Chain A
Amino acid sequence: MEDKTKRGLTVKETSIDAKLNVIADKGMIHDMDGIGHWVPIRWYFLKDLFDLNKVSEFAEDMEKKYVEMRELTCPDDSD
């Protein structure tokens, strides 16, 4: 599973993502103060441990988060 909003970010390490408890490629994003934060770019789900439905749940959660962020920054006022 890949976070497409992190496209182009350099992979700096591959380690366990504590939130999903799977191996993930991680990069670093610097905030307004210059402080670097580790962020997962893509996750590797082992077929033996995760079925497609479970991975889809994670993907839907990620999509939901993006919708919320879009609403916060660019609310759709066409209604």
Chain B
Amino acid sequence: MNANLYNNMSYAHPEVLVNTDWVSKNPLNENRKLVEVDYDPVNGYQKGHINGASLIWWKRDINDPVTRDIINKKQFEALMSKNGITEDTEVILYGDFNNWFAAFVFWVFKYYGHENLKIMDGGRKKWELENKQYTTEEPKFTPTTYKAQPPDEGLRAYLFDVSRALGREDTVMVDVRSPKEFTGEITAPPEYPMEHAQRGGHIPKANNIPWATAVNDVDGTFKSVNELKQNYESKGVTPDKDVICYCRIGERSSHSWFVLKYLLGYSKVRNYDGSWTEWGNMIGNPVEK
């Protein structure tokens, strides 16, 4: 079984997915790196990871340590160097929490122009369900010189983009949070007490299409293209629209961004990484419940 398995699924860009069997059968080398992306590396990577995988810790490695923002171009180049990645390296990402943070890092890699990039479908969840092996040994890399591209702002929505899009017929907002977060019953699940906002609810006229509706519950793999089309198009999220995805901190929305852009082939999809922890905290922002 190989990555071409996904051609049968008729995804718009099957080349961005590999499955767990492909990863276990295709050895890593100088030009192919495996990277685990974790929200919680203590309970993930450090307890065990796929042989040869390095770690990108979402909080430490992808976020600026002081300002709330993703890392800048120089910081991204340093991260690539540390992980032994060059501009031509084929990078396969997988991670905890149903690949939410792997999808976020995929988005950041694309933001800085990395071309050869894939996600292992199902992430840690599927790998563990299949009782595939882990190691605790961490790989060592010779630092590389990496030259990133200027940020592709077409992939990212900022607060002002969202404000400007309010009421526009050609733009559709996709809120990928749970129904309880969407209605404002909760601002964050009890497991994440640090991620609350001052107000509950959603951006006016947003569609609630939870991220989980794009995956098979049993193993976290992506649903078929027909199921995905039905999921989004029936709610007015069609390829002709400008689509802005958001959630609470931008990670689940990058998962849906990935689905819309790479599995369904929508051309105009942006991730609003400020998400609800920005919108729901700003004075004067309109909120719908």
A-B contact count (CB 8 A): 41
> Do A31 and B191 form a contact, CB below 8 Å, given A36-B40, A36-B43?
no
Of A27, A33, A34, most buried by chain B (CB within 10 Å of CB) is A34
B180 to chain A, nearest CB (A): 10
Q: In the complex, A34→B58 CA distance in Å?
A: 8
Listed A/B pairs (28) with beta-carbon separation below 8 Å: A6-B190, A8-B186, A8-B189, A8-B190, A9-B190, A9-B191, A10-B190, A10-B191, A27-B190, A27-B191, A28-B191, A29-B192, A29-B193, A30-B40, A30-B192, A30-B194, A31-B194, A33-B59, A33-B60, A34-B38, A34-B39, A34-B40, A34-B57, A34-B58, A34-B59, A35-B40, A35-B41, A36-B43
Q: Say yes or no: is B129 at the interface (Cβ < 8 Å to chain A).
A: no
Q: In the complex, A31→B194 CA distance in Å?
A: 7
Whether B40 pairs with A29 at a CB distance below 8 angstroms is: no
The residue of chain A having its C-beta at the shortest distance from the C-beta of B43 within the complex is A36
Knowing that A9-B191, A29-B192, A36-B42 touch, tell me 4 more A-B residue pairs with CB under 8 angstroms.
A10-B191, A29-B191, A30-B194, A32-B59
> Do A30 and B190 form a contact, CB below 8 Å, given A36-B40, A36-B42?
no
Of A7, A27, A28, A33, most buried by chain B (CB within 10 Å of CB) is A33
Q: In the complex, A7→B186 CA distance in Å?
A: 12
Give the A interface residue count (CB, 8 A): 15
Residues of A within 8 A of B39 (CB): 30, 34
Residues of B within 8 A of A8 (CB): 186, 189-190
Residues of B within 8 A of A30 (CB): 39-40, 191-192, 194
Whether B190 pairs with A29 at a CB distance below 8 angstroms is: yes
Q: In the complex, A6→B258 CA distance in Å?
A: 34
Residues of A within 8 A of B189 (CB): 8
Q: In the complex, A48→B191 CA distance in Å?
A: 34
- Which positions 119-140 of chain B face chain A at CB distance < 8 Å? none
Residues of A within 8 A of B192 (CB): 29-30
Q: In the complex, A27→B194 CA distance in Å?
A: 16
Q: In the complex, A24→B140 CA distance in Å?
A: 41
Nearest 3 CB-CB pairings of A with B: A34-B39, A9-B190, A8-B190
